[in-house]
């Protein structure tokens, strides 16, 4: 069973080191998030991506910040998110959002933590509108001091296979940096 990120380390998720490695607003804009869109940030943690996403989509859009951990969601609430950000407590593969509700699903460093990856991806696909997009960021299958243990990381090809098996169409795969890769897919 894969381990989940320990909420006691929540500060790592919104600290300056993370911001220096990855500017969330720039990342989202570069990958297609626009004003008026709806986004599901699945495994949102304390809102590293959710809050900038809410600014990008503006008041004509909506961001669903979804997590299984109360500690993460409580920290997000403390950060006073904008009104177009809806905080949702979820189970891993049962997300309480209606079918075809979002344009864009964001899955950052969460797939490797899922117990049943195909069911988890199918649940994400259910949330997406007909031509909705999935943007996934994961850790390269390498040994390093940061990130999850090597045994829990997913090789790029394995992640690609999981996504395709779930019925998504891969639009692109690239290295985000030496430690991380991203995959864009469409429903």
Kindly state the tokens that stand for 186. Answer: 């469409």
In this prediction, residue 16 carries a pLDDT of 61
Question: Rounded to an integer, what distance in angstroms lies between the CA atom of residue 44 and that of residue 69?
Answer: 10
Output the pTM of the full model.
0.90
Question: Rounded to an integer, what distance in angstroms lies between the CA atom of residue 98 and that of residue 130?
Answer: 13
Q: How many C-beta atoms lie closer than 10 Å to residue 144's C-beta? A: 11
For the chain, domains (ranges, CATH) are 7-186 (3.40.50.150)
Contact 48, 109 (CB under 8 A): no
Residues 6-40: tens digit of each pLDDT: 556 555 556 566 566 789 999 999 999 999 999 99
Kindly state the tokens that stand for 60. Answer: 């004509």
Question: Rounded to an integer, what distance in angstroms lies between the CA atom of residue 53 and that of residue 28?
Answer: 7
Residues 98-134: tens digit of each pLDDT: 999 999 999 999 999 999 999 999 999 999 999 999 9
Question: Rounded to an integer, what distance in angstroms lies between the CA atom of residue 132 and that of residue 32?
Answer: 11
Residues 43-98: tens digit of each pLDDT: 999 999 999 999 999 999 999 999 999 998 998 999 898 999 999 999 989 999 99
Q: Give Cα 124 distance to the centre of its chain.
A: 10
Q: Tell me the helix, strand and coil percentages in the chain, rounded to 5.
A: 35, 30, 35
Residue with tokens 């790592």: 12
């Amino acid at each position: 069973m894969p381990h989940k990120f320990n909420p006691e380390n929540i500060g790592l998720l919104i600290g300056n080191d993370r911001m220096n490695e990855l500017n969330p607003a720039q990342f989202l804009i570069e990958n297609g998030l626009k004003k008026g869109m709806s986004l599901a940030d699945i495994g949102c943690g304390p809102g590293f991506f959710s809050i900038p996403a809410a600014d990008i989509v503006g008041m004509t859009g909506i961001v669903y910040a979804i997590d299984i951990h109360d500690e993460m969601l409580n920290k997000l609430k403390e950060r006073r998110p904008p009104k177009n950000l809806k905080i949702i407590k979820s189970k891993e593969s049962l997300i309480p959002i209606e079918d075809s509700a979002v344009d864009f699903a964001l899955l950052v460093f969460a797939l490797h933590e899922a117990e049943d990856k195909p069911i988890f991806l199918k649940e994400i696909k259910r949330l997406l509108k007909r031509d909705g997009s999935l943007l996934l960021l994961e850790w390269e299958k390498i040994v390093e001091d940061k990130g999850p243990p090597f045994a829990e990381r997913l090789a790029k090809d394995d992640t690609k296979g999981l996504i395709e098996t779930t019925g998504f169409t891969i639009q692109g795969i690239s290295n985000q940096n030496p430690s991380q890769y991203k995959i864009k897919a469409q429903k």
